[in-house]
Structures are given as C-alpha cells and as structure tokens.
Structure 1
Amino acid sequence: MPLISGAQKRFKEGQLVRVKGPAVIRVEEGSVYGLGLELTKGKAIKVPKGRVYVFKVLKDATLRVNLGSEGSLESPKLEEEAIDLWRQRIEEILSLRRDRQLKKIVVLVLGPTDSGKSTFSTFLINESLRRGLKAAVIDADIGQADVGPPTTVSLAFPQNPITSLRDLEPEHLAFIGAIAPEGSEGYIVHSVYEFVKRALEKADIVIINTDGWVKGLKALRFKLDIIRAVKPQVIAAMTKGQDLEPLLNSLSRLPQIKVVRIDTPPAMYERSRAERRMLRSQNYLRYFIDSTVRSIDASSTPILNSFLFSGEELREDLEFLEKILDMKVIYAEKSSIHLIVVTSERASITSTIVNLLREKFHTYFVRIVRKGFEKGILVGLLDSELRERGLGIIEDIDYHRKVLKVRTPYEGPIGGLVLGRIRLGSDFQETVVVEGAFF
C-alpha cells in the first residue's frame, strides 16, 4: 500500500529508512541517524529532488513524511545500504588525525559519477563539526557543483550541520568557465591548491569533493596531479566500478597517504543527463537570482583571455570587408596576431576567405562572428589582483564604445574579465560555446 503524503509511519530500532526527494521527514517520536546527524523528536530534514538519504533508527521512531511528486520512502534491507560502514570509515579517517598527532588533515574524496561523493562529504563535515573540529570544504566538481555555481571551484567554511553541500555559501570562487574538467585540468589543480592553502589557515580538516571523471589514463593523471599538488593525508575513494583501482593500488604503498575505500550503496540513485542539466540550471538561477546589469568599460577593464578590444579598430577597411563577406560589418579590429570581424548576420566562411583576410591584414588568427553571438556567455569577474570575485552573463556588447552589459550579483570593483565556454539562455539552460567561434 503506497504511503500517503503527510502520514506517520513507525520504525523499529535498527531499521533503515531510505527517502528519495523531494521530501520532508519529521521525527515525531524516537531518534534516527543519517548524514552524520542525530535527529530527535521535533527535528525535520528536507531531502532535495534527485537526492536519496538513508537513516538508521536509533530508538523506535515515528516519522511524519511529506513526499513530492517523485519522492518515495521505503525500509531497505541492511545489506542494501552502507550507513554503518560509512560511520566506521569516518571514524577511521578522523582517528588518523589523533593517531598521527596531526593538527591539520586534508581528505580528498574520489569516485565516479553518482557514487555518493557529495553525500559522503556531507557526512564527514557533520561528524567533524560534531567533534568540535573546524571544517572547510572545497567543491571541485565544476559540472555538478553544489557549493558554488557550475563552472567554478569553490571554498566554504561550514559553521553548522548541513543536509547537503548546497546549504553552504562559498567564501571564495575560482571561475573555470567549463562544465567538464578535460581541457581545464591545470587551472582546476591550481585553484584547488590555492584554496587548500587558504583553508588550512582556518580549518582543522579540509574536505575536497571532486568530479566524477575517473575513466582512462588522462583522468587518472588529472586526479594524480591534484594529489601531488595538495598532498592529502587521506584519500576517501568510492568503490563504484574499478576505474580508480590502478591509482589507488599505487597510492596504497605510500606511507604518507592513507587510502580508505568507501562502499557505494548498491541502491545508489543515478541521475539522468536531463536531471543533471536541470540541477545546473537551478544552481545558476540560485546564484543570479538577485543580479543586476552593470556596464563595464573594456578600455579600462580588459578581457584577459580574449583578443577582443586588444587591437586597432578598422574603420577604413569596413567597405572591403563587407564586399568580401557580402554583408554588413558592424565592427572590426586587428593586430599583428589577430583579426576580429563582427557582422550583422551569420556569415558562411570558406578557407579561401580566411586565407585572403590573413594575407590582406598580415595576421593569422581570424574570427568572424555575428552580432548577438556574445549574448549569454558566462564570464568571470576579477578584482585588481586578478582574483575571481563573481560571475556574470553578457547581455550585450557595444563594440564601438567598447562597453559590455553584464548581469551579475557582484557589486564590487572589477579589474578584469575572463570569458567562459558556456552560454546561458533566459531560462538558465546552457549550451557550450563552440571553440572555433570564440573571440
């Protein structure tokens, strides 16, 4: 018989309760344990859509359950979940700090997609706080970021227990500008390294949650680069699949690193690609909800990873360009390295035209883009010391005045911009900016 939303259900001591969100559960009697938290009478917890939380009944309990349209509640068998094993592994990790007399400890959480990394990180944060430790978390999963918006690495300092990494507000952001790590490995490693240094100034334990790219030699090299950069004392590896085993087996032979394997629950919920896309859209919306449009003068605030506005504006050659391209040219600029042409409509560009323009303007890098191509491109906003302070979305560019209209919640001074490789629509759905069409 299906559970009626809002109904009460009784559970015996030792039973497991598995809740799939969206749902809210409230303890009416007794107590349960999950996510590193003990919930007693009167305590409630929200389970977001796309998440599955498991609780163990510590004392005969009555739970009031409100389920969303896709939510569910069941009592699985003990062998279907890993909550007891997770508690043991967390005790193993936290006791290492005491046994080795370490003042600080860095824990790197590895694992494939949908293996429980974020939930385990939440578990570890709460257990650390419960023991009086100061905790820091670095969210390095740029595609399924929970702490900061997607495309970023973020650093947060939890002060109170949480039910999800999404409960945290980032104190620092690093804008990567992509949702897949491949191609951005170096900057991700650098960002994680810098954030670990900052975190260790304030925290007793630093927890690094990573992305799910673990398949293949390139992915393993990337994870090894992070390990070599931050030198964690513990690697908490989710055991879903065998892709990490070659790396873990090698690392297990190093005395300075403790490899702790964390069982992924057999019933772990796997999100579809559409669900992942929806979650990213929600996270973009959450970040930009209180944003305003700012005008940024590119003459004094440079776009640091682009040729745009770094050359000489071409005024006398517009007629030539319009003849070659057979359409109106709005703006053009050149340097000894590049030529950028902005047209009124999409142009069909052949290699013959590109070679002609290279020869005519004595340059190599040629980009011809349509006005409006820039709308929706995600950008990172930097301060005068080139540190990321926020994200923005380009709404428009006045090419002749060299002014960008950028939507952002950031209100402070801007010293520079970096362009991302993601474009957001009005509904915060994303598309990847084509490399060949980039400025």
Structure 2
Amino acid sequence: MAYGGGAGAGSGSGAVAGGSSTIKQVKLERESELRIEVGNDAPLRLRLLNGTAEIFGTELPPEIWLNFPPRLKFAVFTWYGATIEMDGSTETDYTADETPMVSYVNVHAVLEGRRSRAKASPSDDPESSQGPRVIVVGPTDSGKSTLSRMLLSWAAKQGWKPTFIDLDIGQGSITIPGCIAATPIEMPIDPVEGIPLEIPLVYFHGHSAPSNNTAEIYRVIVKELAGILERQFAGNAESRAAGMVINTMGWIEGLGYELLLHSIRTFKANVVLVLGQEKLCSMLKNELKGEPKVDVVKLQRSGGVVSRNSKVRQNARSYKIREYFYGLGNDLSPHSNIANFSDLFVYRIGGGPQAPRSALPIGAEPAADPTRLVPVNINHDLLHAVLAVSFAKEPDEIISSNVAGFIYVTDIDIQRKKITYLAPSAGELPSKYLIIGNITWRET
C-alpha cells in the first residue's frame, strides 16, 4: 500500500528519521496530513485526541488506541484540524500541508451524484440505473490502491455498497498476490485490518506479473470475473447503482497497456482516473474518445507515495502471504494437514504445444497454448509452493472457476506418497483440484 492520503509536493515539518519510541503528540492544521512509516521491528499505537481525522477515507474514532503493525505506511489526514498521539517507533513521520485531497473528494462528489441518479432511475433501464464504474490507473507506486480505498470508504460512509475489484496481481489488496479479486464494501475500510475478506470472489493467475506467456490467462480470468459481476449487478439494483472501483497494475507500457485497455473495456468502465501520468492520460483519451460516455480524468499523485524497489515489493508479497495464513497481528492459527498424493490433482495453466510438428504445415513452429491445462506430478518441486484450491468440479473448468483459498506446501514424502500442507482451517479441502503458478513462500 502506498502511503499518502493525497498527492502534491508534500512540503512539511517535523520529519523524524529513525523515529523514537516515546509517546508524542502531533497537532495537524486543517487540510494537512501526518505521513507515517511504522518501524520494522515493533508496532505503533495511535489515537485521535481531539478534532476529526481519517486514514484512507475512514474516520478515526476519538480517544481509542489503534495498533498498526510493523512496516505499515499510512497517512492521517484532517479536514478541520486535529491532534494525534503516537506511542511506539516510526521509521519516519512528518506532516505535509500540500495534498490533493480536495480534488479527490471532488471526484467522490461527482461519483455520489451519479450513484444517486442511477438509484432514482427505473431499474429496468440498464444504462441509466448503472452507477459509476471507476477504474484507477497509473504507474507503479503512484497511489492507486490508496485512492481506491478512499473512494470506497467515502461511498460506504454515505450508505452505498460499492464493489471493489483488484486487478493488481503483484500487490494483492484483497487476498494474496497472483490473484484478481472482487468484494462488496459495506462499511468504511478498517484503517488497520484493511479490505474485509468475508465474501471475496477470487481468480488465480498464479504469477506476480503477467508476461507474454501468461497474458492470455490474465485476459481470461478478467473476463470471467467481469461476467460474474455483470450477472450479479443485473439482479441487484442496489449494487448496480453503487457501482464499482477498480484498482489496476502499475505496468502501463506495451503489453501492460494492452491489458489495461482490455480491463477498461471488459468491465465497461465509464470513469478512468489517471494518477500522475500526463502521457498515459493523453493515450487513453485518444484511445477511448470514440467510445460513448467514458470520462478520462487526470489527478495529482500523492507527495507521500514512496517508490519501492524490487526487493521491497518481494518482501511485501511475502508479508501478504504470511498475513493470509497467520493474520495481520499473528492472531490466526493455520492447520498443518497431511494428504495422500492420490487424493489431490495439481495442474498448471499454460505450457505445452497446441499440436505436434507433424500436424503442422511444413516449416511452421508449434505455438504454446497459454490456457492449456497441464497435470503436474507431486514431487519435491512443489515444496514451498502456494497452491490455489479451485472450485472446479472437473479439470476443464479450472481456468474459468474461482478459488476457495490457498494452501502452502511444507513437506513432500516421496516414499510414503504423502504431502504436508498448511491451510487456514482444519478438515478436508473443499476441492481435490489444485492450481500451481510461480507463487512461493518460505515461512520464517
């Protein structure tokens, strides 16, 4: 999660490098924010002493301590002024009085008007009863997930239940990396716990970034997810009017740009918010100008957004997988289970030629089928792999089926033909069909 409740130059005072572990108070002036990076080794407690403030669009309760885990980055923003108290160590914390929150909340106001008009329209009119379908786009580390979260929380505060769709397989705001997912947002998003996980709809891509070999898988699961949501919207006027907010990948060039256009069109987005990229905004305006009722809007990126190198991003993926099994505050107890090789069927999507050379015209090379299902033998290669548990009833349904959850392979006993794995709960898996990609994790 990039931090920053807004964009802008982010000039401010009180920057602390290395932070301190004593209790301290910070007074925030109106329309300013406190940007915080929690230390690597210990959590941070924070509370609102007076005034009003919010984190990513969710208001802070007065006088109640909130516990933020290590390494979390966030910003506390106030519209009218507030005093914040912190207890614990921070990597950095500083105040900033230049943020684009006014422009962000103006976008929210426009979306609010569209939702109200959609709700007031006849439900049998599919066009006028459709609320805003917002897609947030921009380069890596431009604050897309943060803006998405704010727009969702502000809408939920007004009583709407918008659908959040996360297409960023590298980060994973809803579930582990390597997936796309959707979930309704019924309440402002908890500043600590994040996106609720009660009823997410999850599809497994299996990789932390699409490539030439896996782009077609990405297109297929995006289309599947969009189709499911389209059917849900058709039967639910409330969800339809509330609309959706879609977070996207930071890959915006070449194949990444093609996949971005595919997502915009597949979900029939009618509002495209471009964060901090003039070139991308111009390209999308030219590309989409012939399509009716698509508004492309450029917004400033946050001055609090931090660029992350590949190692930091890899660590973030590992933390997200650990959080899936153990919880944000190590408060979950996953179960170690043992199964026979014969009880499980592991598949990889993609790989293998479509046809042998003998069946092709002379001189033609066999092309790889990116959505071909390949059975995988259970052996030591699966050690430390994170596998998706598919809802498919038959193997040929795997790519078009969503997943129930994930397991982590901790041991392979070739002689006894037993596989040991970690699962969020005890008991049998909901399906015998498992999907493997290149998502791995080493428990530390």
| Equivalent residue, structure 2, for 1:92 | 110
- Sort the Cα spacing of 1:191 and 1:12 in 2 relative to 1 into closer, same or farther, 3 A: same
Does the 8 A contact of 1:139 with 1:145 survive in 2? Answer: yes
Say which is worse superposed, 125-134 or 88-97, in terms of deviation: 88-97
Contact 1:15 1:56 in 2 (8 A): yes
Shift of 1:187: 3.6
Specify the SS of the correspondent of 1:220: helix
| Mapping for residues 339-358 of structure 1, pairs under 5 Å | none
Aligned residue type for 1:88: N
Alignment of 1:31-430 (within 5 A): 31-39=52-60, 41-42=62-63, 49-59=71-81, 61-72=82-93, 74-78=94-98, 81-99=99-117, 101=121, 102-105=128-131, 106-162=133-189, 163=191, 166-169=194-197, 171=199, 172-182=201-211, 183=214, 184-194=217-227, 196-197=229-230, 200=233, 203=239, 204-216=242-254, 218-240=255-277, 242-243=279-280, 245-289=282-326, 290-299=333-342, 301-305=344-348, 372-385=380-393, 386=397, 387=401, 388-397=403-412, 403-409=418-424, 411=427, 412-427=429-444
- Which of the pair has the greater relative contact order for Cα pairs under 8 Å at 6+ separation? 2
Q: 1:57 to 1:127 in 2, by over 3 A?
A: closer
In the aligned structure 2, how far is the partner of 1:219 from the partner of 1:165? Answer: 30
| Distance (whole Å) between structure 1 residues aligned to residue 222 and residue 268 of structure 2 | 12
Contact 1:252 1:259 in 2 (8 A): no
Aligned to 1:342: none
- Confirm whether residue 13 of structure 1 aligns to residue 30 of structure 2: yes
Once the 2 structures are TM-superposed, how far is the Cα of residue 285 of structure 1 from its aligned partner?
A: 0.9
The Cα of 1:122 is off from its aligned counterpart by 0.9
Whether contact under 8 Å (1:93, 1:234) holds in the other structure is no
Report which of the two structures shows the higher radius of gyration computed on alpha carbons: 1
CA contact (8 A) 2:281 2:298 kept: no
> CA shift at 1:128, angstroms?
0.7
Instruction: Count residues with an aligned counterpart.
Output: 367
8 Å CA contact 1:138, 1:155 repeated in 2: yes
Do the aligned partners of 2:277 and 2:298 also contact (CA within 8 Å) in 1?
no
1:26/1:43 contact within 8 Å kept: yes
Following superposition, the deviation at residue 30 of structure 1 comes to 1.7
Equivalent residue of 2:115, what SS? helix
Q: If each structure's strand is expressed as a fraction of its own residues, which one has the higher value?
A: 1
The Cα shift of 1:26 comes to: 1.8
Does 1:30 find its partner at 2:51? yes
The TM-score with structure 1 as length reference comes to 0.73
Q: Distance in 2 between matches of 1:306 and 1:209?
A: 24
CA contact 2:180–2:222 (8 Å) conserved in 1 = no
Across the aligned residues of Structure 1 and Structure 2, the Cα RMSD in angstroms comes to 3.4
Shift of 1:404: 3.6
Deviation at 1:241, TM superposition (A): 5.7
Contact kept, 8 Å, 2:54 with 2:60, in 1: the verdict is yes
Q: TM-score, normalised by structure 2?
A: 0.72
By how many angstroms is 1:195 displaced?
5.0
**How far apart are 1:254 and its partner, in Å?**
2.6
- Shift in Å at residue 10 of structure 1? 2.6
Report how far residue 75 of structure 1 moved: 2.7
Shift of 1:423: 2.6
SS in 2 for 1:242: helix
Conservation of the 8 A alpha-carbon contact between 2:404 and 2:430: no
Residue by residue, what CA displacement relative to the aligned partner does 1:204-261 show, whole Å, maximum 9, x if unpaired? 2222211111122x11111111122211222222124634531233224532222232
Give the % identical residues: 22
Match of 1:349 in 2: none
- The DSSP-based 3-state class of the residue aligned with 2:176 is coil
Amino acid in the other structure paired with 1:414: S
Aligned partners of 2:413 and 2:154: how far apart in 1? Answer: 52
Deviation at 1:148, TM superposition (A): 0.3
Query: Which range is displaced more, 178-187 or 160-169?
Result: 160-169
CA contact (8 A) 2:413 2:419 kept: yes
Separation of aligned partners in 2, 1:417 and 1:371: 14
Give, in whole Å, the separation in 1 of the partners of 2:231 and 2:414: 39
CA distance in 2, matches of 1:187, 1:129: 30
Q: Using the alignment, how far apart are the partners of 2:438 and 2:172 within structure 1?
A: 16
Deviation larger for 278-287 or 159-168: 159-168
CA contact (8 A) 1:112 1:214 kept: yes
Q: Which runs of 5+ in 1 are unaligned?
A: 308-335, 338-366, 428-439
CA displacement, residues 366-425 of structure 1 (integer Å, 9 cap, x when unaligned): x99996222112211123535411112233445577654333225443131112222322
Q: Which residue of structure 1 aligns with residue 370 of structure 2?
A: none
